[in-house]
Amino acid sequence: MVAPQGDGPRGEREDHIQDVWTVANVITVLRLLLIPFFFSVLLSDRSDFLAFALFAAAASTDWLDGMIARRTGTVTTIGKAIDPLVDRLLIAAGVIGLHLIGRLPLWIVGVLVARDVYLLWGAWRLERHRERMPVTYLGKATTAVLLAGFSLLMLGWPHIELGGTELLLGKAIVYLGLALSLASAVHYTILARRLVEYGDVRPGTRLERGR
Average pLDDT over residues 159-186: 89
- Given a cut of 70, is residue 207 above it in pLDDT? no
Q: Where are the alpha helices (DSSP H) in the chain?
A: 23-44, 48-60, 62-71, 77-100, 106-128, 137-155, 169-198
Distance CA 59, CA 34 (A): 10
Average pLDDT over residues 161-188: 90
Helix (H, G, I), strand (E, B) or coil at 14: coil
Backbone angles phi, psi at 56, to 5 degrees: -65, -35
Distance CA 115, CA 12 (A): 29
Give the per-residue pLDDT at 126: 85
- Given a cut of 70, is residue 205 above it in pLDDT? no
User: pLDDT tens digits, residue range 22-59?
Assistant: 888 888 899 999 999 999 999 997 788 999 999 999 98
Give the per-residue pLDDT at 157: 82
Helix axes 62-71, 48-60, angle to 10 degrees: 20
- Given a cut of 80, is residue 172 above it in pLDDT? yes
Q: Indicate the range of 10-19, 82-91, 116-125, 163-172 predicted with least confidence.
A: 10-19
User: pLDDT tens digits, residue range 116-149?
Assistant: 999 989 888 888 878 777 778 999 899 999 999 9
Residue type, 25: N
Give the per-residue pLDDT at 160: 83
Report which DSSP code applies to 17: T
Distance CA 122, CA 192 (A): 8
Give the per-residue pLDDT at 67: 83
